[in-house]
């Protein structure tokens, strides 16, 4: 089970690959953060936003988790509008579960 709640049938190859990678990181916590964001937003990301998201996904899971939780500062090159959307989505998704 991947955890994804969306079909990738209508997505282009690049977005399908990114969606899959978002849910198959290795660290479940990061799977949930990136996977749920990708489920909701992948179809709406521009080519530039996809590039920023792919660059973020190239980082180690432990680093991403620290940046998302605020345990470590986000490096300047990843402090992008896409990362801010991930944080905003994470906050929205967490508040909906309460």
Residues 66-96: pLDDT tens digits? 999 999 999 999 999 999 999 998 775 444 4
Q: Write the burial class of residue 19 (CB in 10 Å: 0-12 exposed, 13-18 middle, 19+ buried).
A: buried
Work out the number of other CB atoms within 10 angstroms of the CB of residue 85.
Answer: 18
Rounded to two decimals, what is the model's pTM?
Answer: 0.85
| More reliable by pLDDT, 7 or 13 | 13
**Rounded to the nearest 5°, which phi and psi values hold at 85?**
-65, -40
Average pLDDT over residues 43-65: 97
Q: Give the CATH fold of the 13-97 domain.
A: DNA polymerase; domain 1 (1.10.150)
36, 89 contact by CB (below 8 A): yes
- Those residues whose C-beta lies under 8 Å from the C-beta of residue 81, and which sit 6 or more positions away, are 49, 52
For the chain, the domains span 13-97
Contact 59, 65 (CB under 8 A): no
């Amino acid at each position: 089970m991947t955890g994804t709640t969306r079909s990738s049938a209508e997505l282009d190859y690049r977005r399908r690959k990114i969606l899959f990678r978002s849910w198959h990181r290795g660290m479940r916590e990061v799977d949930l953060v990136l996977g749920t964001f990708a489920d909701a937003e992948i179809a709406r990301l521009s080519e530039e936003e996809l590039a920023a998201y792919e660059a973020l996904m190239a980082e180690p899971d432990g680093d991403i988790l620290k940046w998302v939780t605020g345990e470590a500062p986000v490096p300047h090159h990843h402090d992008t509008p896409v990362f801010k959307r991930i944080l905003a989505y994470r906050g929205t998704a967490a508040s909906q579960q309460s």
